[in-house]
Homo-oligomer: A and B are copies of this chain.
Amino acid sequence: MVDYVDKSKVPQATVPRLARYLRVLHRLERDGVPKVSSKELAERLNANAAQIRKDFSYFGEFGVRGVGYEVKYLIGELSKCLGLDGDWNVAICGAGKLGQALARYRAFGEEGFRLAGIFDSSRYVVGTAVDGLVIRSERELTSFFRENNVHIAIITVPAEAAQSVADKAIEGGVKGILNFAPVRITPVEGVYIRQVDLSTELMVVSFYLSQRPR
């Protein structure tokens, strides 16, 4: 990746695609495939080869004309593009089923995300462990975030609690929030907030099914 890339010029739609490219590339690497063309990648992803090349072109020239892309090299470059060089300290706020599911998610550490802590408000849960990590009390959240330089908070608490947890995380110096609670977190200057919405997804399926009789 060229150093002087202005990431604000990268189309928003490109970013999640880069992450998907990376996943397929990791699989290719694991299978011992040394190089790949945009066409092959496109087939595996159900995408358009030109689009893949264009996406790369916002960051630099990663391929060799007439040949294709070297898988390992491309993985390294795309990782840098996505900011996955270096480590991000991540904490999960809310140790319910969803929080625990994410805590166990292995892909975490492999991509430079370090799970620094997991928090919950229920005293019946605090002190027990998930995947070797002790669940801490939400009262310690702000101080823990500050002391451990937590960059990203993943919010998996019920809707009612989401804003107050976000406030604590921001007070603790968090720079990014991935929010699974079905409420909008009030935006704060300097903090990137991304909303993920599981129930919405089911409704989208419903929409496309209802085009024909059920």
Contact = CB atoms under 8 A, between A and B. Distances in A.
A113 B202 contact: yes
A196 B201 contact: yes
Given A45-B184, A101-B101, A203-B111, A88 B152 contact: no
A113 to B, nearest CB: 6
Nearest to A175: B209
Contacts of A175: 209, 214
Contact of A214 (B86, B197, B211): B86
A178 interface: yes
A136 interface: no
A200 B102 contact: no
Interface residues of A, number: 61
A81 interface: yes
Contacts of A111: 199, 202-203
A209 B86 CA distance: 12
A150 to B, nearest CB: 11
A81 to B, nearest CB: 7
A65 interface: no
13 contacts: A7-B211, A16-B201, A22-B203, A23-B182, A23-B199, A82-B206, A82-B207, A83-B210, A97-B101, A97-B104, A105-B199, A177-B205, A194-B204
